[in-house]
Amino acid sequence: MAEKTAKVVNYTPEMVARMTAEYTAKPEKATVEALAVEFGKSTKQIVAKLVNLKIYVKASPEKGKTKTGEKVETKDTTADAIGRVLGLSEPDVESLTKANKRALQAIFAALANSRPIDGND
C-alpha cells in the first residue's frame, strides 16, 4: 500500500484567524496588502483565501462615479443636453435616448466644440 504524503498547509490556523480578524475589522485593499507582506504571499493569494473563507468584499466604485473616478452620466442626461443645444422637441429627445451612449457623448462633444451657424457662412 502506498504511503500517504503530508498535505502542504499554506495557511496555519493562526494565520487564518489573524486574516479573518484583520480583514473583518477593516475590509480594505490596504489590509490585504499588509497581510500579504506579513505572510510573504501575493495580494492575489490573500484575496483568494479571503474569498475561500467567504469574507472577501469586492471593491466597488464610489456611488455616482465610474471606476476611473469620473461622474456617471446617463444617456437621458446626455440626450437632454443635445436636445437643449439643438432646440429639439421632447419626442425627438426621447428618441435620442435609444442611441448608443458613446455615440450620444460623441455628438454632444462635437456640438460643444462647434461654432454656431449664423447664416452668413
Residue 26: pLDDT band with limits 50, 70, 90? very high
Q: How far is CA 69 from the centre of its chain?
A: 9
What are the helix (H) ranges across 3-115? 13-25, 29-39, 43-52, 75-86, 90-96, 101-113
- Per-residue pLDDT of 41-87, as tens digits, reads 999 999 999 999 999 988 766 666 666 667 777 888 889 988 888 88
Amino acid at 109: A
Give the span between the Cα atoms of 16 and 18, in whole angstroms: 5
Domain boundaries, the chain: 13-52, 61-121
Answering whether pTM is above 0.75, one says no
